[in-house]
Structure 1
């Protein structure tokens, strides 16, 4: 298999399949991932291919699943955990924050935790406040955890392969609304955690984003191009570590920036990026750096309220207009 068109969710499946074929230490565990193929069918067909010893249905206990994965990783396996919704990661935090993230440091570099935790985040499906959250800023705040958030099928495939091969714990965050998105995937193409990509080149303003809002920013850039505004879109791809060099290089060309993410704006990923630009790229700025993100409130159930809560093309265009004014 080389290049073929596939959906985002099928790129996840293919990355898992190829990793398991390459390395017998890779095992999958999570709720309903084996016989049911996972809540979003990302593990469909893998039980039949690799058996119950490597594709493991677990009890409904996120704390137990993640703790087991940490133990597996410390003793030679490479577990890939699926947490059904990112909202449920709250139940996994002790194992992630106090064990997985700290083991390499506390053992003086003599041990590592090569585990991946896959989980979908985000709204847009009227799933309400307990099934729509974007909590990646929590994880990015913890030394020892890597946090990846791909926006397209190719990056899902390449970055999941890289995450499984990484010796450190990686939080691999997918977006529910992207699972059906199609794109060409080249299985020979590799990616490195911590490297951003320029999704669109431009000269007037830089949009810095990741995950599902990359597509929102690309749509905004298309509309702004019709008005003569050339927008550069930086897809971070991973937010811990994040590619500061690419962001500052883009800023040196455009001299204006807007940070866009679906998560709540307060104390979010965007705040860290804006602070870094203020520290290290201030002389390049011709206008204040703006943020477009969710308001400080739980995600609403109502579809009409959720439309006002989520990041839209119009909100991005408005922010670009302000920074160009």
Structure 2
């Protein structure tokens, strides 16, 4: 069987939504190829590609050597020859051997060729912590990619977005870093594989009037929990899921902050030079006269990711988000 998922709404995990999205991409376009370590017979370490090699063959779903630079370099060559490769990096901390290929070749070839060359490569990276993993398995490297012109950086927070955002990434002619929040792989939600989604960009996932909470990927659920907890204290918080880290939909965020007058940004990555710093600066520039308090950031500490027994103290959780909310509301 090599068909795309049938139409209709289905409740599935974020992981299953990614699998269904890849199945759709393979069925719709014979130029789409999947590449990565153990993604074929094993179905990947998280089983995101489970069953795809059996249904589409080992020339479409390819197990590769353990060599991230070679994987991405091969994908670039395939893209130059008309294919649309989707690469899986097993864990966030394993992407750095390929960083040279991504930054010096993948991100720059379109500009270097004055627009004549397109590199439609998607690099899927499970990222983030809270799974009790060992060193190099819980990194949040999004800022390292977002700083590089020529790359799109995306991160879904729920199964529906996982399905449709991966579809958009595969169809894009630009290279995309697709960050999958591994701690949310088994979160469930409704996915309609027939309905085309609203345009990509930030989305208000909870309306509110007192303060805006902005997040992406794994921290969106935490911010929704924070908004629910704050409502018990009489505070009405709005939650914005950014979805894209590069580019960022500042217009949606600015409209939200214009209504609420306050902004707290949350991400797992360290606060120091993190995505929140850029967001805070841009929003402050555009909302200076609407802001009633300084923009606050919540994130990881400026230190290497700790051993798993200490990650609960390192990662921003409900209490740290609510503390920032309290400080912003008290200002």
What's the TM-score, normalizing by structure 2?
Answer: 0.96
Equivalent residues, number: 324
Match of 2:327 among 300, 316, 322: 322
Match of 1:37 in 2: 43
- The question of 1:152 aligning with 2:158 is answered yes
Runs (4+) of structure 1 exceeding 3 A deviation are 189-194
Contact map agreement 2:206 2:224 (CA 8 A) in 1: yes
CA distance in 1, matches of 2:133, 2:270: 16
1:308 aligns to 2:313 (yes or no): yes
Instruction: Give the distance between the partners of 1:144 and 1:236, measured in 2 at CA.
Output: 19
Q: Of 45, 57, 65, which aligns to 1:59?
A: 65
The aligned runs of 1:198-277 (5 Å cut-off) are 198-277=204-283
Map 1:118-137 → 2, pairs under 5 A: 118-137=124-143
Q: 1:81-96 counterparts in 2 under 5 A?
A: 81-96=87-102
1:173-192 mapped onto 2 (5 Å cutoff): 173-191=179-197
Distance between the aligned counterparts of 1:283 and 1:75, measured in 2? 51
Residue pair 1:149, 1:174 contacting (<8 A) in 2 also: yes
Q: 1:126 offset after TM fit, Å?
A: 2.0
Superposition CA RMSD, Å = 1.0
Unaligned runs of 5+ in 1: none
Cα contact 2:92–2:136 (8 A) shared by 1: no
Task: Please say if residues 163 and 193 of structure 1, whose CA atoms lie closer than 8 Å, have aligned partners that are also in contact.
Answer: no
Checking the alignment, whether the CA contact within 8 Å between 2:36 and 2:71 is kept in structure 1 is yes
Note the C-alpha offset of 1:219.
Answer: 0.3
After superposition, give the CA deviation of every residue in 1:206-230 in whole Å (9 maximum; x if it has no partner): 0010001000000010010111100
1:9 aligns with 2:15: yes
SS in 2 for 1:114: coil
Q: Where does structure 2 lack aligned partners over 5 or more consecutive residues?
A: 1-5
Alignment partners' CA distance in 2, 1:97 and 1:212:
25
1:90–1:275 distance in 2 versus 1, CA, 3 Å: same
Secondary structure of the corresponding residue to residue 42 of structure 1 = coil
Q: TM-score, normalised by structure 1?
A: 0.98
Q: Does 1:164 align with 2:174?
A: no
3-state SS, counterpart of residue 282 of structure 1: coil
TM-fit CA distance, 1:95:
1.2
Per-residue CA deviations over 1:180-204 (Å, capped at 9, x if unaligned) read 1111101123347850110100000
